[in-house]
Every structure is written in structure tokens, then in C-alpha cells.
Structure 1
Amino acid sequence: MQYIIYCDESVKNGEYFSNFYGGALVRSIHLEEVKTSLENKVSELNIHGEVKWQKVTENYLEKYKELVDLVFKFIKQDKIKIRIMFTHNAYIAKDLTKEQRDKEYFLLYYQFFKHSFGLRYSNKTGKPISIYTFFDQLPDTKEKNQEFKDFIFNLQNSDDFREANLFIHSKDDIAEAVSHNHIILQCLDLILGSMEFRLNEKHKAIPEGKKRRGKRTVAKEKLYKHINAHIRAIYSNFNVGETTGLKDNIENRWNHQYRHWKFKPNNKIENKQYLSKNKKTGPVIPT
């Protein structure tokens, strides 16, 4: 058995929510079925080029909806697990060192990878399970990117990974992916992008000098609602702006097919304007 984990990141500094990270986990026994089905669907729909949230348009809306339907079919069957993490601008980390601020992107990415899937609860077989990761191309220097990969590689020496009998064969199994070549990573981009779009209220954007929203904005809102309806078919009261509940079972960090994590620093101060329900100072956190 192997877990193949695809990871992506989105907006770092949003109006209300920031530091968006996303992950899709597929077990090796399901990988070929999932990849082939999604690739065939893209071909059948005659979608040209890479599937991306930024490419959602009125003309492609129905095609993207149909692709999302297939993605969520696999999510509901637990053949794909999706995790989304973000921070709220209301919570500001205190007393960070200069090094921590410089490495914030990678420190948060590390926390996301280590904890969001609940990997420590994933293996009841007693048999070793390997992990292969695809990170969408990392944005920093070669040295900083490699340092991050080293930290990911060394997770196998942590108590959580040892107890779950999880390992990574080699550093070559921590890959930087070109998303154009990985349909699962592209579909993850759709879901992650839709959440950033809604949480930062981009569905309300009206171009300067116009009285109405643009057609692309309307199409993106419709696709977000389509995605949200699928999530609510799994969890009826799902709140996209909050950490998904565990229902009194911590192992649901792994068991759940789909989860959100609103990351809050342990040592933080509150920016109260973002906690207000006054639209002039901050959003009502959407359901």
C-alpha cells in the first residue's frame, strides 16, 4: 500500500482569509482508476489545456460542473480525500522570530502536511505503508525548497509516523510536480480556488466603472455553489469558514473524506475588526 498525496497552495494574503493550502490523498489501489477516469472525462468534455480555477468561464461552467461531479463521486467513495487549510486575518501570530517570519510559508505547509490528513490514525493493518508526495512547484529558492523537503522526509522519524508504520522510501519520493501533468492536482486547484474565492468574498466583486459583476465572477460563484452542494451532501451543516468538527472521534481527522482546517497560532492576538459582523470591517463567516 502507498499513499499518494498531492499538495497545492493558493493566495497568501487575502482580504479576510490567507495562507490557503490544499491536499488530495489517493491510495495506490485506487490511483489508476481515479487518474484514468478523470483524464477520460476531461477528454470527453473537450476541455483544452490545464484545468484551473482561474480558467473558469461562463462557456466552460457546465463542463467544469460535470468534472466536479466525478471528483466528488470519488470523494464520497473515499477514493480521494481532500483537505483545505487557511488562516483568518483576525488571528495574528505573536512573538515570531525573523527566521519564523521568513519561513512562514514553509512552516505552515509543514503543519498542513503533517496534521491535516490525520495520517497518524490511518493505518490499522500493522503493515508498513509508504508515502509519495507531489507538491505543486515550490516558489522559493532551491536551497529553501530542499530544506522543506528534508523536513517532510524526516517526518518518518516522528513518533506519529512510526506508530502508524508510515515511511518515505527516499527524498526522490518528495517531488515537485508540473500541475499540467497531474489531473488530480488540477482538480484540487478547482476546489482550493473556489474556497479562497468565497471566503474572501470575491463573488461580490464589481469591475471598476461597471454596475454589475462580470460574467466570469458569476460563473465562478455558480461553480463554488455546485462544489459546496456536494460537500453538504456529505456533511449537511458544513461551514466552509471553520475547522470541520470531529464528532467526538479524533480519528475522523483521517476517516473523513473531506475536511477544512482554520489554522490558528497558539500564541496570537486578535484583530477585532475582522471579528465584527459589520460588512465595512469584516465578513460574516459564510456557511
Structure 2
Amino acid sequence: MQYIVYCDESIKRGEYFSNFYGGSLVRSIHFNEVKSTLEQKKKELNINSEVKWQKVTSNYLDKYMSLIEVFFDFIKNDMVKIRIMFTHNLHEPIELSKTQRDNEYFLLYYQFFKHAFGLKYSNNTSNKISIYPFFDQLPDTKAKNQEFIDYIYNLQRTDVFESANLFFNSKDDIAEAKSHNHVILQCLDVVLGSMEFRLNEKHKIIPEGHKRRGKRTIAKEKLYKFINSQIRQIYPNFNIGESTGIQGVVENRWNHPYRHWKFISIDSRTNGSYVSKKKKVSPIHST
């Protein structure tokens, strides 16, 4: 058994929510079926280019819905697990060193990979399971990217991994991926992008000099609503802006096919400069 894990990230700073990370985990027994089915669906829909949230348009809306519906069929059957993590601008971490602030992106990414899937609870047998992570191309220097990969590799020496008999075959198995080669990563990008779009209320954006929202914004809102409806088939009344509950069963951090995690630092305070949605009265504009 292997776990193939795709990881992606979205914007670092949003109006209300920031630091968006997403992950998609597929077990090796399901991987070929998931990958080939999604690739075939793209061909049927005549989608010849990379699928991305930023490329959603009214012309491609129905095609994206059809592809994402297939993706969520796998999620509902627990053949794909999805995790989304973000922070809320109301909560501000305190007493961070300069090094911590400079490395915030990677530090949060590390926490996401280590904890979001509930890997600690994924294997209660004596059988070892190898992990193959694919990170969407990392944005920093080669040295910093490599340092991050080193930290990920050393996770196999932590109690989280040891308790579940998880390991990496080699450091080379921790790869940076070009998303246009990985359809599962592309679908993850759409789901992650839709959550950032809605949580930061980008569905309300009116371009400067216009009286109405643009066609692309309307198409994205429709796609978000479709994705939300798919999630609510799994969890009725799902709240996208809060951490998903575990219903009193800690193993559900792994068992659940779809979960959100609103990350709040242990040492945090209320951000006095944060302006809540309720207090905003001026229209949102965008160039």
C-alpha cells in the first residue's frame, strides 16, 4: 500500500482569510482508476489544457462542473481524500521570531502535511505504508525549497508517522510537480480556489468603472455553489469557514473523505486592525 498525496497552495493574504493550503490523498489501490477516469473525462469534455480555478469562464463552466462531479464521486466513495487549511485574519500569531515570520509559508505547509489528513490514525496494522508526496511547484529559492523537503522527509521519524508505520522510500520520492501533468492536482486546485474565492467574498467583486459583476466572477460563483452542493451531499449544512468537527471520534481526522481546518496558532491574539465583513460598508472593487 502507498499513499499518493498532492498538495497545492493558494493566496498568502486575503481580505478575510489567508494562507490557503489544499491536499488530495489517493491510496495506491485506487490511484490508476482515479487518474485514468479523470483524464478520460477531460478528453470527453474536449478540455485539452490544464484545469485551473483561475481559468474558469462562462464558456467552460459546464465542462468544469462535469469534471468536478466525477472528482467528487471519488471523494464520496472515499477513494480520494481532500483537506483544505486556511487562517482567519482575525487571529494574529504573537511572539514570532523574524525567522518564523520569514518562513511562515513553509512552516504552515509543514503543519498542513503533517496533521491535516490525520495520518496518525490511518494505519492500525503492522504493515508499512510508503508515502509519495507531490507539491505544486514551490515558490521560494532552491535552497529554501530543499530545506522544506528535508523537513518533510524527516517526518518519518516523528510519532505521527511511526505510530502508523508510514515512511518515505527515499527523499527523491518527495517531488515538486508541474500541475499540467497531474489531473488530480488540477482538480484539487479548482476546489481549493473555490473556497478561497468564497471565503474572501470575491463573488461580490465589481470591476472598477462597472455597475455589475463580470461574467467570469458569475461563472466562478456558480462553480463554487456546485462544489458546495457536492460537499453538502457528504456533510449537510457544512460550514466552509470553520474546522470540520470529528463527532467525538478522533480517528475521523483520517476517516472523513473531506475536511476543512481553520488553523489558529496556540499563541495568538485578536488582530485589532482586522475589519470584519459586518463592518464593511463600501463596495469591493477590483482592477
Match of 2:21 in 1: 21
Counting only pairs closer than 5 Å after superposition, residues 1-287 of structure 1 correspond to structure 2 as 1-271=1-271, 274=274, 276=276, 278-280=278-280
Q: Secondary structure at the match of 1:192?
A: helix
**266-275 or 41-50: which moved more?**
266-275
Could you report, residue by residue, the CA deviation over 1:222-268 in whole angstroms, capped at 9, with x for unpaired residues?
00000000000000021000000000011100000000000001111
Alpha-carbon distance in structure 2 between the residues aligned to 1:73 and 1:129:
25
Alpha-carbon spacing, 1:279–1:47, altered in 2? closer, same or farther (3 Å) = farther
Alpha-carbon distance in structure 1 between the residues aligned to 2:69 and 2:43:
15
Q: Secondary structure at the match of 1:278?
A: coil
- Give yes or no for contact 1:243–1:260 (8 Å, CA) kept in 2: yes
Alpha-carbon distance in structure 1 between the residues aligned to 2:60 and 2:203:
17
Alpha-carbon distance in structure 2 between the residues aligned to 1:244 and 1:22:
14
Alpha-carbon spacing, 1:47–1:104, altered in 2? closer, same or farther (3 Å) = same
Alpha-carbon distance in structure 1 between the residues aligned to 2:21 and 2:196:
10
- Give yes or no for contact 2:16–2:276 (8 Å, CA) kept in 1: no
Q: Secondary structure at the match of 2:206?
A: coil
Give the % identical residues.
70
Alpha-carbon spacing, 1:227–1:117, altered in 2? closer, same or farther (3 Å) = same
Q: Secondary structure at the match of 2:49?
A: coil
Q: Secondary structure at the match of 2:47?
A: coil
- Give yes or no for contact 2:197–2:203 (8 Å, CA) kept in 1: yes
1:143, distance to aligned residue in structure 2 (A): 0.6
Match of 1:285 in 2: none
Paired amino acid for 2:51: V
Alpha-carbon distance in structure 2 between the residues aligned to 1:164 and 1:245:
22
1:115, distance to aligned residue in structure 2 (A): 0.1
TM-score in terms of structure 1 length:
0.96
Q: Secondary structure at the match of 1:143?
A: helix
Alpha-carbon distance in structure 1 between the residues aligned to 2:199 and 2:160:
32
Paired amino acid for 2:103: K
Q: Structure 2: where are the runs of 5+ without partners?
A: 283-287
- Give yes or no for contact 1:274–1:281 (8 Å, CA) kept in 2: no
1:126, distance to aligned residue in structure 2 (A): 1.8
1:274, distance to aligned residue in structure 2 (A): 4.2
1:160, distance to aligned residue in structure 2 (A): 1.7
Alpha-carbon spacing, 1:213–1:8, altered in 2? closer, same or farther (3 Å) = same
**222-231 or 158-167: which moved more?**
158-167
Paired amino acid for 2:56: V
Alpha-carbon distance in structure 2 between the residues aligned to 1:5 and 1:277:
34
Alpha-carbon distance in structure 1 between the residues aligned to 2:239 and 2:109:
22
1:48, distance to aligned residue in structure 2 (A): 2.4
Report runs of 4+ in structure 1 exceeding 3 Å deviation. 272-277
Q: Secondary structure at the match of 1:83?
A: strand
Match of 2:285 in 1: none
Q: CA RMSD in A?
A: 1.3
- Give yes or no for contact 1:65–1:223 (8 Å, CA) kept in 2: yes
TM-score in terms of structure 2 length:
0.96
Could you report, residue by residue, the CA deviation over 1:165-207 in whole angstroms, capped at 9, with x for unpaired residues?
0000110010000000000000000000000000000000001
Alpha-carbon distance in structure 2 between the residues aligned to 1:185 and 1:205:
27
